[in-house]
Structures are given as structure tokens and as C-alpha cells.
Amino acid sequence: MKGSGRIRHAVIPLLFLGILLFSLCFASLLPDVVQSYLYAISLAIKDCLIFSLPFVIFALVFGSMVSLGDKAMRYVLIIVPLVCCSNFMNTLISYTVSLKVTDWYGGISALQQHDESVASALSPAFEFSLKNIISNDLALCAGVILGLLLYFINKNIATTLAGYAGNFTRVYFKILIPVMPFFIAGTTLKLQHDGVLIQIFEQYLQILIVFIVLAYGFVLLQYLALARFKFNRFIGYLKNILPAIVTAFGSMSSASALPLSIKAAEANVGKKSNAGVIVPSTVNIHLVGDCFFIPMIAIAVMSSFDLEFPTFATYLVFALHFVIAKFAVAAVPGGGVLVMLPVMQKYLGMSSEMLALVTALYVLFDPIITACNVTGNGALAIFFDKITRFFIRSESK
């Protein structure tokens, strides 16, 4: 069953790549009316996604808080600030480097339509819109407060409700994943119809290269620092975490690599109890690859659509909500970017076309991003072990 799940996960980026290639090569064979309906369906899916995400965020965050409540409070008080600080720092670094890199190579040029007239652009065949009942911010706060509060009032009830919340999110993503190709297809057809899709293929490879150098370089530097710049220990850390990295790359799931991540952490820290606490608790919330890739690709997409870059103050607000939303990330292919769509739309001003493009690029590069997430979690496990040992020594004095 696990093998079949990995096969299904591996098919998703291939399917998205096929959609992009089809749009690039054969979109002109489809009548405009068909493209118009597919584009309308894409927009409708996006609206349904934005409408339903607050409920999914609440369920995921509620479950995460109840799960964290199972740990010793002093561990929780270390883990949550540690994860938030790491995600926030990585997100800020991504912004700074993205701007520097943009200045260096001149940025991705604005996408140009074949025909500048408004009439040439593809329009949706129908309009469908939903108004949000509850904001994502309120859903996040409610999930955190109710999850922790109910856990300390009645652990059994909290655990039962967390189970229901988990079932709800699993069903939700089982429904969502099959319709995501329609979300991507409509928008890619729109981009190709307007004559900009081929420009995207030509210009985004450099962003992937920058991401790999930056994110993996930063994580490897962390391992080197944790090894106190002793090369043999550094190589030992990487050798232990390598099986988990390979598994994450092949399955596109940090959860699939969890047993190997725990085993690697146990080997790297030498204390099973610490590895057993930090790795499962952070597998879905400490996502180094996401923190680097999503802001970088968002800024690149904004550049290609000729949208003004966010100021540092604007990006700071975005980064804060970005970090909080990490507690609502689901362990499914593309889950890291799905809960970020409303955040990018609200705080970066991104359009439906931009959000769909970010989603498509994220899913295509998901193996590389997920492998980076697992690598970063391995470094966090070592750092967590060093912190807890320090506090234990301090308490014993």
C-alpha cells in the first residue's frame, strides 16, 4: 500500500508537467470556447479552495495543537518558538536573497502578450464566486486556542475531536488532489492563449538553480556549524540523514520519510527520547524548502507579471502570516503551497493566474523541495537536542 501511495504521488508532478506541455504545444487545437470554459472552471476551483481553506486550516491546526499537547510542556515551549523562529528567519532570508538576485540578473522580464489588446485575452465563459464566511487568521487563532485549551480540560475529548478533524482533512485532500489538474489546466491554457507560457519555461529555470544553491547551501552550513566545523562529524550527519532525503525525494512526502528521519536523528543526537519528540512534531510544520522556495517563486512570478515587489514592511506582515500558516500544512503533494494561496493573494496582491502558476511550479519541483524540508528537519533535531541538554544541565546545577 505504501508503494502504491508513492506511485500516485509521483504521478502528480508528471501529470502537471504533461498539462503544461500540452498547453504549450497543442492549446491552439482547442476551440476558444473550450479554453474559456476550462479557464472558468479553474477560477471556480480557486474560489472554492479559498472559501474552504479556513475550515481546513482550523482542523489541521487543532489537530497539531492536540498532538503537541501530548509532549512535555517544556518540550512544547521549546519546539514551537524554535520552529517559528527558524521558519521566519528562512522566509526573511529568501526575500533578501530574491531581491539581491533580481538586481544581479535583472529579474524576470514582464510577460508580454502577443497582442496587447484586451480583446485578445482569454475570458472565462462564466463567473462563479464565493464569499468567505471566516477569515484564515481567525481560523488559525481558533485552532490554536481551542486545541490547547480543550486538551488541558479533557484530553480524551480533545484527542477524539482531533481524530475527526484528521479524517475531515484526509477526505478533503482526497477530493482536492484529483481536481487540481483542472485548476492548473485552465490557467495554463489562459497563459498560452495570451502568449506568455513559453516565456515562463524559458525564464524560471534560473530560479530553481538559485533555490537549490541557496536552500541546500544554507542547510548544509547549519550541519557544518552543528558539527563544530569538524569535517568527519559533518559527513557523519549527512550520511545518517541521506536515506531519509532519498525517500523524501522519491515520495514527495516528509511523512513517508518519517521513520528514516527518526532513525537518522537518533544516530545524530544519540538520545532516542529527543529524536522521538522533535522529528514527528515538526515533520509538517518546519519546512525549510517551502520557506525558501515559495517566497522566491512568488517574487519571481510577481516580476514576470510586472507587479511591484512588496516593501519590507509589507513582506514582514506576509512572513508573519506565512509562518503561522505553516501549522496548517498537510502532508500531501503540493500541501505546502495550498494553504499559502490565500496568504499570497491577500498580502502580496497576487492574481488567480499568479497563484495557479506558483502552484504548478511548486508541484513540479516538489521532490527537490521536500528533500530540502527533510534535510532541514535533520539539522533542527540536532539543534533541539543541544538545547534540551543545555537546559537539563542548567536545571541540575
CA distance to 9, 26, 111, 195, per residue, from 120 (Å): 37, 18, 15, 10
Beta strands in 188-322 (DSSP E): none
- The stretches of 270-365 forming alpha helices (DSSP H) are 272-282, 288-304, 312-325, 335-338, 341-348, 352-364
Kindly calculate the radius of gyration of the chain based on its CA atoms and give it in whole angstroms.
21
Distance of CA 37 to the CA centre of its chain: 29
Predicted confidence band of residue 333 (pLDDT cuts 50, 70, 90)? low
| Percentage above 70 pLDDT, the chain | 77
d(CA 25, CA 23): 6
Of the candidates 137, 18, 80, the one whose C-alpha atom is nearest the C-alpha of residue 387 is 80
The pTM score is 0.69
Domain ranges of the chain: 2-396
Q: Once rounded to an integer, what is the mean pLDDT over residues 61-80?
A: 68
Domain 2-396 has CATH 3.90.660: no
> What single letter denotes the amino acid at residue 92?
L
pLDDT tens per residue across span 81-130: 888 888 999 899 888 887 776 665 554 544 444 444 434 567 888 888 77
pLDDT above 70 (res 342): yes
The answer to whether 180 and 188 are in contact (CB under 8 A) is: no
Which of the given ranges, 112-121, 143-152, 267-276, has the highest pLDDT on average?
143-152
Closest by CA position to 335, among listed 283, 299, 397: 283
Cβ neighbours of 195 (radius 10 Å): 15
How confident is the model at residue 395, as a pLDDT?
45
Segment 360-383 mean pLDDT: 86
pLDDT digits (tens, 9 = 90+) for 38-51: 888 888 887 887 78
- Closest CA relative to residue 215, chosen from 138, 116, 295: 295
CA distance 144 to 327: 9
* Higher-scoring residue by pLDDT: 30, 137: 30
Q: In the chain, what's the furthest Cα-to-Cα distance?
A: 77
**204-263 pLDDT, tens digit each:** 677 778 888 888 999 999 999 999 999 999 999 998 888 888 777 765 667 667 777 878
Question: Are the beta carbons of 382 and 222 closer than 8 angstroms?
Answer: no
